[in-house]
């Protein structure tokens, strides 16, 4: 059975975190999986092992301590956030395998727009090469991943930069990496919004899951 897709629009982070935690903790063996697509107002989220020194510049953007893996990242309007509430044990998926599947779903979506992207074994997420001066290129992150697994069931998910103000990424070491460049689909001339991409992204993830059946 394919996951139930819910498009939630712009929603506050704390309430959404509480909702997906409650869903995961209360679900039963036969509870259908769900995929939530949404945007958040500006917020920094700090993972379980997050180190405060990765927040470089204090600002009025709230910092929320959460239970996913990874360090600090930024969410804001213009970024497509996808929470994947899946029973990995039921699907027969390992965590590393599922991370690769999420990355491949983003890579496939970007390929539809002519953007070549790739994952990295040592640094979860999706990356691209950005053109710089004198014909040089620079690696930049276009999507981040962070998951939490409880009793074989996952929540949290991925964040794809579509068309947003990237300035807050300069206030942090994104995902704990000093000097990591961050980019978005708009920098490649793509005129889309999180809302216009939400169903396509959910479909790419569903396709990856279906291939495991």
Report the pLDDT value the prediction gives residue 173, as an integer from 0 to 100: 85
Helix (H, G, I), strand (E, B) or coil at 121: coil
d(CA 78, CA 10): 10
Report the pLDDT value the prediction gives residue 18, as an integer from 0 to 100: 96
Task: Quote the tokens at residue 99.
Answer: 């991370």
Report the pLDDT value the prediction gives residue 174, as an integer from 0 to 100: 79
Q: How many domains does the chain have?
A: 1
pLDDT mean across residues, the chain:
93
pLDDT exceeds cutoff 80 at 193: yes
Active site residues: 175
Listed range (29-38, 49-58, 181-190, 202-211) with the worst mean pLDDT: 49-58
CATH number, domain of 166, equals 3.30.930.10
Q: Taking a C-beta distance cutoff of 8 angstroms, is the pair 174, 211 a contact? A: no
Residue, of 28 and 132, whose pLDDT is higher: 28
Residue, of 2 and 195, whose pLDDT is higher: 195
Task: Quote the tokens at residue 2.
Answer: 């394919």
Residue 197 pLDDT grade (very low, low, confident, very high; cuts 50, 70, 90): very high
The H or E element spanning position 202 is helix 194-210
The model's pTM is 0.95
Largest CA distance in the chain: 57
Q: What is the mean pLDDT of residues 182-192?
A: 97
Cβ atoms within 10 Å of 120's Cβ, excluding its own: 12
Q: What is the pLDDT of residues 107-126, one digit of tens each?
A: 999 999 999 999 998 889 99
Report the pLDDT value the prediction gives residue 61, as an integer from 0 to 100: 95
Q: What is the pLDDT of residues 37-80, one digit of tens each?
A: 999 999 999 987 778 788 888 899 999 988 887 788 999 999 99
Which residues form the domain of 157?
4-210
pLDDT exceeds cutoff 60 at 213: no
d(CA 161, CA 192): 11
């Amino acid at each position: 059975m394919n996951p139930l897709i819910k498009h939630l629009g712009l929603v506050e982070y704390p309430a959404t975190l509480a909702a997906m935690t409650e869903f995961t903790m209360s679900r039963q063996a036969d509870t259908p999986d769900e995929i939530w697509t949404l945007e958040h107002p500006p917020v920094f989220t700090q993972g379980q092992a997050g180190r405060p020194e990765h927040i470089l510049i204090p600002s009025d953007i709230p910092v929320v301590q959460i239970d996913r893996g990874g360090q600090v990242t930024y969410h804001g309007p213009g970024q497509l956030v996808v929470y994947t509430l899946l029973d990995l044990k039921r699907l027969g998926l390992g965590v590393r395998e599922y991370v690769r599947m999420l990355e491949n779903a983003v890579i496939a979506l970007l390929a539809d727009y002519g953007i070549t992207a790739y994952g990295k074994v040592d640094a979860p997420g999706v990356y691209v090469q950005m053109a710089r001066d004198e014909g040089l290129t620079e690696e930049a992150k276009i999507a981040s991943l962070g998951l939490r697994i409880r009793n074989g069931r996952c929540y949290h998910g991925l964040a794809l930069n579509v068309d947003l103000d990237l300035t807050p990424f300069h206030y942090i070491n994104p995902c704990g990496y000093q000097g990591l460049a961050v980019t978005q689909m708009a920098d490649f001339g793509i005129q889309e919004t999180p809302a216009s991409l939400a169903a396509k992204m959910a479909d790419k993830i569903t396709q990856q899951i279906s291939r495991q059946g």
